[in-house]
Structure 1
Amino acid sequence: MKIKTVAVLGAGAVGSYVIWGLSRRKDIRLGVLAEGKRAEKLKKGCTINGEVYHPEVWTPQEAKGVDLLIVSLKYGALPGAMDSIRQVTGENTTVMSLMNGVDSEKLISDEIGASHVIYSVIKVASHKEENGYCFNPETTIGIIFGEPCAPYDSERVQAIEALFADTGLHYRSTEYIREEIWSKFRLNVCNNLPQAILGAGVGCYQDSVHMKAISDGLRRELEAIAAAKGIAISKAAASSGHGSAVPPSARYSTLQDLDAGRHTEIDMFSGALVRMGRELGIPTPYNEYTYHMIKALEEKNDGKFDYSKEDGEITCSR
């Protein structure tokens, strides 16, 4: 098995890392999936670390039957992309989801069949600037992938390893991919979310016992749910317990979304944990509070609490 065609669905922060690396492979066809105005924009190129890359731009119909489809969307965009994923997936297509959270593989499997899906997770501190997406290739942990069950050294695992070799991408395969996914999930919930509510850089966890207490509360709830599901996070590699090296001022994806006035992926993080906690009978007060706080911040960004246009003035006295 040799991978000769790769399609990327989602050319944002995560997709840019893949495009950056695989553009070095001159023996494959690399394309991004897009239609309409999005396609016209991508045909002008993708600016990554100050350099413009020109992957092919394919419609889902044109990409039908590619060897590997890499899904790197925001969580909220996945339901609307399912039709495209179905159209692209051919008899021998492998689908790799590099989305956050712990359930994108199941959601995609429910649409196209589990036999097409290989489990994976990515850790890259990529961010958008005026001239495109930027990341540090050296400090990026990269892509971790594997089969959810034996044989772990499958033909397609070997094919993906061969595809990623000599590209600059950091990667490794593992037989503990579920644990690796939950390990990153823990990082996102415990480090991503409290920072977003506070609106401060990640240094807040070192500098405030109160921020650490919130992070620890979220972690305890997550680990209790993982244990109830038979997920032994401790089996994940030691490096998976840490993100890519970032300065104290770094702002993770949830805070970046709020800064930009976008809706976040909170439904995939605390929202999912609250739902799983209810199903398992495990209380999740920290995650419930965090979920509602970030939803309220989204509403604030949407202008729901803009009372400046109200007529009249209320004077309070006592």
Structure 2
Amino acid sequence: MKVAVVGAGSVGCYFGGLLARAGHAVTLIGRAPHVAAIRAAGLVLETASGAEAVRLGATTEIDGAAGAEVVLVCVKSGDTEAAGRGLAPFLAPDVTILSLQNGVDNAERLEAVLGRPVVPVAVYVATEMAGPGHVRHLGRGDLVLGPGPASEAVATAFRDAAIPTTVSANAVDALWDKLVLNCAYNALSAVTRLPYGRLLGVAGIPAVMADIVAECAAVAAALDLRLPDDTLTKVLALAGTMPDQLSSTAQDIARGRPSEIDHLNGFIVRRGAERGVPTPVNRLLHALVKALESGASA
């Protein structure tokens, strides 16, 4: 496949690197420092089995997506509409567009800008950029794709590239599962600057996570959605699968960049306010991260 990755941060670099290693023609579209490093020496893909340099295309320009058969949109949720507007002139007529983003409404927002279908994808992976052009894998790495004309073929290609991938008509439910995980971990990891394993070992944190999950479940119910009965169990178990992961929100704050908190805990707060559902714990965490953002940008 000819693949373009729009927003080649750690998630985009990881999946793009695996696809390129499997022989697909991948172009990463990202920030200048990463592009320069990748052009000079390839993408350093570091996993539990070691580090290797993967050769693939890299550019800072959105026209790198021209002619791609598959486009992975991996930009931050706040950049969704801007990415869609930039992409629109360069999309092939039969392109498959995948939204590999946090939050539950990015595919819909992209569709509104592009006027064409976008496949929602729930992403379960722990990654970080260890330096320019160097992505480090810390845990998991599986995807749940929504249905689409090419979803099964894309999933097969992903699986052949060592990316565990399933196609599900319930991908939106999977996105809600991921949203709840993010609401439970991202802000707390950012505020405490702790990775997931150490975070969960702090007295009182599991109880706070239970409160977060309860609020998310109440908001979901008000939207006529039902979270699985074992949601809290899965939330608490996540730390064991990614003990060394620092949340993407914590990484953003550390780099002085805007986070996605408005589309995580902030999303729960907004939807709760619309439906008359109180969300005090999510509101507090949202406010604390916004305060950290303000301090980081001062």
User: Which category describes the TM-score, using the shorter chain as reference length?
Assistant: 0.7 to 0.9
Distance 1:35 1:133, change over 3 A: closer
- Cα distance in 1 for partners of 2:270, 2:278 equals 10
The residue aligned with 1:258 is 253
Asked whether 1:232 is paired with 2:226, we answer: yes
TM-score (norm 1): 0.81
The size of the alignment, in residue pairs, is 289
Asked whether the equivalents of residues 126 and 141 of structure 2 are also in contact (C-alpha less than 8 Å), the reply is no
The residue aligned with 2:206 is 212
Asked whether the equivalents of residues 8 and 30 of structure 2 are also in contact (C-alpha less than 8 Å), the reply is no
The residue aligned with 1:116 is 117
- Cα distance in 2 for partners of 1:111, 1:128 equals 29
> What is the identity, as a one-letter code, of the residue corresponding to 2:44?
T
Asked whether 1:32 is paired with 2:28, we answer: yes
Distance 1:52 1:183, change over 3 A: same
Of 83, 86, 92 in structure 2, the residue corresponding to residue 90 of structure 1 is 92
Of 268, 272, 276 in structure 2, the residue corresponding to residue 281 of structure 1 is 276
- Deviation, structure 1 residue 197: 1.6
TM-score (norm 2): 0.86
Report the structure, 1 or 2, having the larger helix content.
2
Computed over aligned residues only, the root mean square deviation of the Cα atoms, in angstroms, reads 2.7
Of 24, 38, 43 in structure 1, the residue corresponding to residue 39 of structure 2 is 43
Q: Deviation string for 1:248-271 (max 9, x for gaps)?
A: x54222222223333321111122
- Deviation, structure 1 residue 117: 0.8
Q: Deviation string for 1:26-48 (max 9, x for gaps)?
A: 3x422123597775554333222
Asked whether the equivalents of residues 65 and 87 of structure 2 are also in contact (C-alpha less than 8 Å), the reply is no
- Cα distance in 1 for partners of 2:276, 2:56 equals 48
Report the structure, 1 or 2, having the larger strand content.
2
- Cα distance in 2 for partners of 1:105, 1:117 equals 5
Identical aligned residues as a percent: 25
Distance 1:84 1:238, change over 3 A: same
Of 187, 198, 222 in structure 2, the residue corresponding to residue 193 of structure 1 is 187
Asked whether the equivalents of residues 220 and 226 of structure 2 are also in contact (C-alpha less than 8 Å), the reply is yes
- Deviation, structure 1 residue 225: 1.3
* Correspondence list, 1:122-271, <5 A: 122-130=123-131, 132-136=134-138, 139-147=139-147, 155-234=149-228, 243=238, 245-247=241-243, 249-271=244-266
- Deviation, structure 1 residue 179: 0.8
| Structure 2 unaligned spans of 5+ | none
| Structure 1 unaligned spans of 5+ | 148-153, 304-318
Range with bigger deviation, 263-272 or 183-192: 263-272
Question: Which portions of structure 1, spanning 4 or more consecutive aligned residues, are displaced by more than 4 angstroms?
Answer: 34-42, 235-242
- Cα distance in 2 for partners of 1:62, 1:300 equals 35
Which protein has the larger Cα radius of gyration, Structure 1 or Structure 2? 1
The residue aligned with 1:312 is none
- Cα distance in 1 for partners of 2:173, 2:165 equals 16
- Residue 223 of structure 1 aligns to a residue whose secondary structure is helix
Asked whether the equivalents of residues 14 and 126 of structure 1 are also in contact (C-alpha less than 8 Å), the reply is yes
Asked whether the equivalents of residues 180 and 240 of structure 1 are also in contact (C-alpha less than 8 Å), the reply is no
- Cα distance in 1 for partners of 2:175, 2:144 equals 9
Asked whether the equivalents of residues 180 and 237 of structure 1 are also in contact (C-alpha less than 8 Å), the reply is no
